[in-house]
């Protein structure tokens, strides 16, 4: 007699060797398993595009003070991006764990990011009537994009 734990029914049972031999397991075909993997990958690709909460990533105006030695400081209006974007994290379970070996979770996050810029020129009045022009970048477009660990140049 063998002592067998049934994970499906969550109980221990004692069966004879002949009873164990009579039990069989239905193994899905490789085409069925491949289809299941494709479905799961498709779901993971769609999830980041589905917004569970309202995305609010948009341009926001701000004042920036520009300084230059020997010149009067000037306040300039520029734009940045601010708002909320979608993110999610899912545990990786079978059969997905075969696609992501060693990973316990699959995480996808997006951050409100500047997509396009334009230049804003600030003219500073300096000593002896001299004028100095400083160029500052200003956001002209915003979008939810995959988050990165650091700021990236445009």
The total number of structural domains that make up the chain: 1
- Per-residue pLDDT tens digits of the chain, which is 154 residues long: 444 444 444 444 445 555 544 554 455 566 666 666 666 666 655 555 554 557 899 999 999 999 999 999 999 999 999 999 988 888 877 777 777 777 788 888 899 999 999 999 999 999 999 999 999 999 999 999 999 755 555 5
DSSP 8-class letter at 150: S
Specify the CATH number for the domain of residue 142.
2.10.90.10
**Within a domain: 142:** yes
**Within a domain: 148:** yes
User: What global pTM score does this model have?
Assistant: 0.56
């Amino acid at each position: 007699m063998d002592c067998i734990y049934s994970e499906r029914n969550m109980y221990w049972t004692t069966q004879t060797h002949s009873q164990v031999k009579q039990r069989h397991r239905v193994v899905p075909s490789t085409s069925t398993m491949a289809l299941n993997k494709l479905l799961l990958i498709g779901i993971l690709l769609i999830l980041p595009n589905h917004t569970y909460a309202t995305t609010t990533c948009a341009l926001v105006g701000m004042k920036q003070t520009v300084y230059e030695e020997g010149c009067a400081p000037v306040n300039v209006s520029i734009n940045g991006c601010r708002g909320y974007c979608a993110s999610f994290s899912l545990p990786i379970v079978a059969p997905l764990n075969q696609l992501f070996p060693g990973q316990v979770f699959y995480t996808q996050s997006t951050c409100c990011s500047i997509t396009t810029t334009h230049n804003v020129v600030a003219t500073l009045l300096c000593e002896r009537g001299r004028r100095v022009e400083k160029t500052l970048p200003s956001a002209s477009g915003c979008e939810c994009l995959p988050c990165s660990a650091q700021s990236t140049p445009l």
